[in-house]
Chains A and B, each alone.
Chain A
């Protein structure tokens, strides 16, 4: 029963989800709307509880065991609660205040302030690191060792120069050539890959719906 019930739920909802997409009958549509607007949202809400519970358990375990860098787990936990409390009760910004006082003189810590002052710089910094790694990797590993690598190198040159306005100033037809690479050879290759991915997705979905693939139940298929 412990395994059969989840398999049965997946079979019914999986088949219904696919059928509802193609059958415009009012009865099917009504059930589909209820499933999407109510059932899915309730599941998502449970997902949120599970997610928060899981992250708290992970970090409290780390703190209890004093695992490597356990101190940072406190940062995660404190920020999780601080941003949740400010977000829920502190309002959006100075124009849209909440019930929780989130302003001391000219200093405010509304959710928008926390977001623009903490979240945005941190995330932007993390992503901007990529530029350094990419440049270093390009210098050390991007070699024209054979025909395929040379073609890749030439395409990269054209696209990198075509991706800045200077490319068109240096070589007039370069942006058009870069556009052609993306529109013709790239699209042709991508379409082939997409057809393969699409067929693979259908096959995997059918295997899950029909209970052939059971890895998602845990404990291996």
Chain B
């Protein structure tokens, strides 16, 4: 067997080793790459930035831990943006496994804001500035029911408090009070939000999705059904970049950790390695084929 043939049938464990190295090493020794916001990310950011303050931002945590690496940084960035802008925030989950992630993100961002708060306006308080409705099923009940009365769909919040007693819920009755609903998902749940919530009630939607599923969502972005879209880790990093300059205006202590941006170096090397593998595989394939021909 010649060199090129051997290269084609190389033990896959060598490929695994290279991938492990190109993913792990940049996380240990990161190099900084500054992401530039793409139009879908910019649209979502600008909409939240200019949304009237009395309108709420609703975040639907529709992903599970398997896609956490890509989607969790988006959730953190959107929460930071919403709180920094003083929007009321409502959080729910369409996946029962998403509850823990939503709780973790809310606890983290609330802590970040409350540690830096100098006045009541700077701090974020559950029930007053944000509400975590939790999860209920089935999704059609939630998506249509929220258009009529949110407290009917979620009589109690995730922590067991009656939602109708929460001060925030006096200003957040149904989709009329929602400026934007962003569904962050590793599945097709954002499309269900279009089918039920937007078609019936006209609620404005955005989405955060995994890079691998981005192609499925572009038709809805082009049609304007999604106001903006964050696609994969890069989408999260681009949003973090836009948000960073906005947060820095509040003071030097607002330089927060950006996990999406941190992971860009690792993602870059992984993509380059896969491209190199494809080129190498094709070169080996064509050279061996040419040599086989008489």
Contacts and interface: CB of A to CB of B under 8 A. Distances in A.
A21 interface: yes
**Chain B binding surface SS class:** helix
A143 interface: yes
A93 B104 CA distance: 11
Interface residues of B, number: 66
A36 B144 contact: yes
Contacts of A160: 271, 274-275
B274 A134 contact: yes
Contact of A138 (B200, B274, B285): B274
B141 A132 contact: no
A194 to B, nearest CB: 6
Contacts of A2: none
Given A139-B278, A165-B36, A183 B218 contact: yes
Interface stretch (A54-62, A63-71, A116-124, A211-219): A116-124
A33 B152 CA distance: 11
**Chain A binding surface SS class:** helix
Contact of A190 (B19, B152, B219, B270): B219
A122 B219 CA distance: 34
Interface string B25-47: 00000000111101100000000
B162 to A, nearest CB: 15
Given A142-B278, A187-B219, 5 more contacts: A40-B138, A112-B103, A120-B65, A143-B285, A164-B267
Which 5 residue pairs of A and B lie closest in terms of their CB atoms, listed nearest first?
A: A127-B66, A115-B100, A123-B65, A139-B277, A164-B268
Interface of B: 8, 10, 12, 15-16, 18-20, 23, 33-36, 38-39, 64-69, 97, 100-101, 103-104, 136-138, 140-141, 144-145, 148, 152-153, 158-160, 200, 211, 214-216, 218-219, 221-222, 232, 234, 237, 264, 267-268, 270-275, 277-278, 280-282, 285
10 contacts: A40-B138, A135-B18, A136-B16, A139-B278, A139-B281, A142-B278, A161-B275, A164-B268, A164-B271, A168-B36
